[in-house]
């Protein structure tokens, strides 16, 4: 979706909702949070979330367990 195309419907009307202290986030411990940006297809309603600051990715890996298949 970051490329401007919806993977579900092929729509091109993608809007970005920036993460902030009132939006979706991932707790990193204490008062630290990783904020998420939402990419929304306004044609079908599909949403993808991405971590706003790539520097938070190692912190997420250290804090949260890896998903098992």
Domain annotation covers residue 30: yes
**Residues 37/50, Cβ–Cβ less than 8 Å:** yes
The predicted model gives 19-36 an average pLDDT of 86
Percentage of residues in the chain with pLDDT exceeding 70? 97
Q: Which domain holds residue 49?
A: 14-63
**pTM for the predicted model, two decimal places:** 0.82
What are the tens digits of pLDDT across the range 30-59?
Answer: 889 999 999 999 999 999 999 999 999 999
Domain annotation covers residue 9: no
- Report how many domains make up the chain: 1
CA–CA dist 1, 11 (Å, integer): 10
Domain annotation covers residue 25: yes
**The pLDDT value given to residue 21:** 64
pLDDT of 69 > 90? The answer is no
Domain annotation covers residue 5: no
Domain annotation covers residue 7: no
CA–CA dist 41, 65 (Å, integer): 30
């Amino acid at each position: 979706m970051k490329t401007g195309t919806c993977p579900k419907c092929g729509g091109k009307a993608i809007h970005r909702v920036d993460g902030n202290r009132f939006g979706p986030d991932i707790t990193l411990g204490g008062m630290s949070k990783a904020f998420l940006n939402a990419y929304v297809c306004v044609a079908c309603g599909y949403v993808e979330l991405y971590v706003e600051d790539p520097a938070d990715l190692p912190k997420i890996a250290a804090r949260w367990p890896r998903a098992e298949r």
